[in-house]
Structure 1
């Protein structure tokens, strides 16, 4: 099924968005779509996620309900779409969701999600043999550094930056990790950011603000109860 229709948001993510793309990098898209509400009411509701190409590129689309649950856990991959500089597709509901992005945030979940994802990237570097290729090790190292930086910025400022400020530092770390089976430089970076998180004052609340998010999702479900055409009319009235 093609979930490029009924989109709330779609944008370019991945290395291109981070400013870390190389000549061989793919262009990755992420999106949020709405399943007609009636389709969710039966015994066998459709899948709420699909992975498929878009113009020859990789693309991942989450249904709005699943996307919002992931965002409430501060999942880095799901969360970043709300903080992009621009979009390849957006609707009125999509713009409203971007305006609600701070409501998803909470201090503990941001730290656990971003630091946890960074740690999982590091484990791919220093994990069991056979080792990953040099190119793959370099990529894991870059993403470890990027997740740590983004998570700390979000934790301390309340805003999630997407594009890294100094790509050369990330590529240098990747090169060091590719040449070092123990990935010592990445391990030291993790330890440094663990200390930073432990000693930093957070700009985030202890819990997310769920009431406006719940109201938003109810309105989206009502608007998409029947046909996409009816939903379009409801969105145009916003």
Structure 2
């Protein structure tokens, strides 16, 4: 039995009933997925019934505890013999649906992954309601220098993991140079490119545009020499750090608009129920 606290049946029903936006995220939507090597990631947000927002209602976990609802998770890898210890692999599905309130907190703080549903192409939208369409139409309200700093922080985290080889190397350079973790490297580079675009234009294009996408896919396949990968990461990090300071964007997301959207969307959801 899956004992993850956010995988309970109560959480699933609540998430499914209130989902306003669910999209593909991850390498599939960035354009960096390699056929047969990646899982599918989906991320969304849902509105909660009134008793969960203004009252004391809770959801029951698979272990029998009652907790406040914040998100629902589904990971098909958990159905295999190792359960929660089983990592996702090729062909697996990973779904996370946040409460709209938690999603909004993460989004206004500039979390790069949480922001992705605002920009994915229509073809990558799994489910959307009028409230979700309004959110996507107002995506520019989440663009901020704070978000740029979060992209920079995520880049540095991936860079450090890549440099320290904290995970098993997945590729070796074509010319016989030192092996490197191609997936970590691709994440770091992609975050740099997308962070720069956000700071310069107020949005992120998905998948990553050409010609950089072709280069990212080469890195993902381990075709670049490690030294060249490290040099590109360092260049993007420096450019992103500089761009944060001069970007023509507000310091913070439009919290007033987000707050109004949350209030209005919940009220309309409750009235419809």
Q: TM-score range by the shorter chain?
A: 0.7 to 0.9
Task: Report the alpha carbon displacement of residue 68 of structure 1 after superposing the two structures with TM.
Answer: 0.6
Gaps of at least 5 residues in structure 1 are: 233-238
Gaps of at least 5 residues in structure 2 are: 1-10, 59-66, 77-90, 172-179
User: Cα deviations across residues 21-73 of structure 1 (Å, max 9, x unaligned)?
Assistant: 22222222111111212123217553311220489621111110010111101
RMSD, aligned α-carbons: 2.5
User: Cα deviations across residues 84-129 of structure 1 (Å, max 9, x unaligned)?
Assistant: 111111001111111222222211x122111111111112212266
User: Is residue 48 from structure 1 mapped to residue 70 from structure 2 by the alignment?
Assistant: yes
Separation in 2 of the partners of 1:199 and 1:157? 15
List 4+ stretches of structure 1 deviating above 6 A. none
Separation in 2 of the partners of 1:26 and 1:150? 21
Contact 1:173 1:185 in 2 (8 A): no
- 2:39 corresponds to: 26
User: Is residue 101 from structure 1 mapped to residue 132 from structure 2 by the alignment?
Assistant: no
- 1:126 corresponds to: 163
- 2:61 corresponds to: none
Separation in 1 of the partners of 2:154 and 2:241? 17
- 1:187 corresponds to: 230
Structure 1 residues 43 and 16: alpha-carbon distance in aligned structure 2, compared to 1, 3 A threshold: closer
TM-score w.r.t. structure 2 length? 0.73
User: Cα deviations across residues 135-192 of structure 1 (Å, max 9, x unaligned)?
Assistant: 5811111111111000000001111112112433113334157x74xxx434322321
Structure 1 residues 154 and 14: alpha-carbon distance in aligned structure 2, compared to 1, 3 A threshold: same
TM-score w.r.t. structure 1 length? 0.83
Q: How many residues align?
A: 222
Separation in 1 of the partners of 2:233 and 2:138? 31
Q: 2:249 aligns with which of 204, 216, 219?
A: 204
Q: 2:108 aligns with which of 63, 72, 80?
A: 72
